[in-house]
């Protein structure tokens, strides 16, 4: 178990370091910009506000929230302490709701939409890629260009196409939202059915794109492994094809797990934009609303939460990788 412990300790330390860096980036970026961040934000917020006292009030509120009169390291401490208390400030677009409150209701929609979609897309993509590498010939000739094209369509483009075809023209799916607009979230049967109906289009738009990218990656990994020397040697030994294929795909899967960990940040970014198309009540739509209303505290809170989500996902994948990678496994016996 010593190997595992060392591996995990290293991973946890990295997780904490990157978490601290993410906090720092989120804190520093708006403060690094030339000029006074508070007046810049107030300038955006105050477009169309004519009363001078109202603008001064806004300025004072933000100055207090940012604590610009204090030295930077002290500001950072206040920021971290507030975060620990779960306080991310007050939203200005949806005053007087708390940022933590808004994000708390949006985050579950995003998690329940994106994680199943990315995992289903990853699994289907890997199966198709492995089949393409194994069967080759016609299947491969068709699948390769099609997957390449699908992975080239931007997530929001796929979302718009699905929306227009299935919701506007065929009218078999709802156009927008996470549940019927005439409903209040509760645990009734009718509400759940409505949620499932609204779930379909955003879900498939993410899955279809993920399939394309993963299939290409898995195909080249599998071809690479199928041409490796150990496969030829195993064939000479007369080991059955099915057994060889199992070894080959297990080896090809390992880089795919890392690939998923590395591409998860990009995928989440694309999927967040796809949410806007469907007005899905998740974090993507929250950021969009925050940008249109110049709601700085909400943007900062949402981006921090997304970073933390991606961090945790990558951490989990690292742990999974530790269990399935033979090299880490072998370290146990040292």
Nearer to other proteins, 46 or 299 (CB): 299
> Out of 151, 194, 205, 256, which residue is the one contacting other proteins (CB under 8 A)?
151
Structure tokens at 92: 């200005």
Taking CA atoms, 242 is separated from 130, 245, 246, in Å, by 13, 5, 6
> Out of 157, 177, 180, 255, which residue is the one contacting other proteins (CB under 8 A)?
157
Q: Measure the CA–CA gap between 212 and 125, rounded to whole angstroms.
A: 6
Q: Measure the CA–CA gap between 275 and 281, rounded to whole angstroms.
A: 8
Rg of the chain on CA atoms, in Å:
24
Crossing angle of helices 99-135 and 296-324, rounded to 10°: 40
- Contact yes or no for 216/151 (Cβ under 8 A): yes
Q: Is 131 in the site for other proteins (CB under 8 A)?
A: no
Measured CA angle at 161 (ends 157, 165), to 5 deg = 170
Q: Is 181 in the site for other proteins (CB under 8 A)?
A: no
Q: Is 80 in the site for other proteins (CB under 8 A)?
A: no
Site string for other proteins, 40-79 (x = CB under 8 A): x--xx-----------------------------------
Q: Is 256 in the site for other proteins (CB under 8 A)?
A: no
Q: Is 142 in the site for other proteins (CB under 8 A)?
A: no
The footprint of other proteins on this chain (CB under 8 A) covers a number of residues equal to 58
Nearer to other proteins, 47 or 186 (CB): 47
In the region spanning residues 199 to 238, those forming contacts with other proteins, defined by CB under 8 A, are 216, 220, 223-224, 227
> Out of 54, 168, 316, 330, which residue is the one contacting other proteins (CB under 8 A)?
168
> Out of 269, 326, 329, 332, which residue is the one contacting other proteins (CB under 8 A)?
269
Q: Is 130 in the site for other proteins (CB under 8 A)?
A: no
Q: Measure the CA–CA gap between 199 and 179, rounded to whole angstroms.
A: 8
Nearer to other proteins, 32 or 52 (CB): 32
Q: Is 13 in the site for other proteins (CB under 8 A)?
A: no
How far is Cα of residue 87 from the mean position of the Cα atoms in its chain? Answer: 23
Structure tokens at 181: 């607009």
- Contact yes or no for 91/295 (Cβ under 8 A): yes
Please return the burial class of 166, using the count of CB atoms within 10 Å of its CB with bins 0-12, 13-18 and 19+: middle
Q: Measure the CA–CA gap between 279 and 238, rounded to whole angstroms.
A: 57
Structure tokens at 310: 């991606």
Count CB neighbours of 243 within 10 A.
10
Site string for other proteins, 277-316 (x = CB under 8 A): x---------xx--xx---x--xx--x--xx--xx--x--
Contact residues for other proteins (CB under 8 A)?
A: 14, 17-18, 21-22, 25-26, 29-30, 32-33, 37, 40, 43-44, 136, 148-149, 151-154, 156-157, 160-161, 163-164, 168, 175, 216, 220, 223-224, 227, 262, 265-266, 268-270, 272-273, 276-277, 287-288, 291-292, 296, 299-300, 303, 306-307, 310-311, 314
């Amino acid at each position: 178990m010593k190997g595992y412990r060392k591996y995990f300790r290293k991973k946890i330390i990295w997780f904490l370091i990157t978490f601290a860096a993410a906090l720092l980036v989120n804190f520093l970026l708006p403060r690094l910009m030339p000029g006074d961040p508070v007046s810049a934000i107030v300038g955006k917020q105050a477009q169309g506000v004519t009363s001078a006292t109202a603008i001064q009030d806004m300025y004072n509120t933000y100055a207090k929230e940012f604590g610009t009169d204090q030295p930077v390291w002290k500001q950072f401490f206040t920021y971290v302490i507030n975060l620990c208390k779960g306080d991310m400030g007050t939203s200005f677009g949806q005053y007087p709701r708390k940022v933590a409150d808004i994000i708390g209701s949006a985050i579950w929609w995003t998690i329940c939409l994106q994680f199943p979609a990315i995992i289903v897309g990853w699994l289907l993509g890997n199966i198709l890629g492995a089949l393409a590498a194994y069967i080759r010939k016609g299947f491969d000739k068709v699948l390769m260009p099609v997957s390449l094209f699908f992975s080239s369509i931007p997530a929001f483009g796929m979302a718009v196409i699905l929306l227009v075809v299935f919701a506007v023209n065929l009218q078999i799916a709802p156009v927008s939202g996470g549940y019927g607009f005439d409903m209040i979230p509760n645990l009734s049967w009718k509400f759940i059915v409505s949620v499932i109906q609204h779930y379909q289009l955003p879900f498939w738009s993410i899955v279809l794109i993920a399939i394309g990218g993963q299939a290409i990656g898995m195909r080249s990994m599998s071809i690479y492994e199928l041409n490796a020397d150990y496969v030829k040697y195993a064939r000479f030994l007369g080991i059955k094809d099915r057994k060889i294929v199992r070894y080959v795909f297990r080896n090809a899967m390992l880089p795919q797990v890392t690939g998923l960990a590395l591409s998860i940040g990009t995928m989440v970014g694309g999927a967040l934009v796809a949410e806007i198309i469907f007005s899905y009540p998740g974090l993507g739509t929250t950021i969009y609303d925050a940008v249109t209303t110049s709601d700085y505290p909400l943007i900062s809170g949402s981006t921090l939460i997304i970073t933390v989500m991606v961090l945790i996902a990558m951490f989990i994948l690292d742990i999974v990788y530790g269990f399935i990678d033979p090299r880490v496994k072998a370290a146990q016996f040292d």
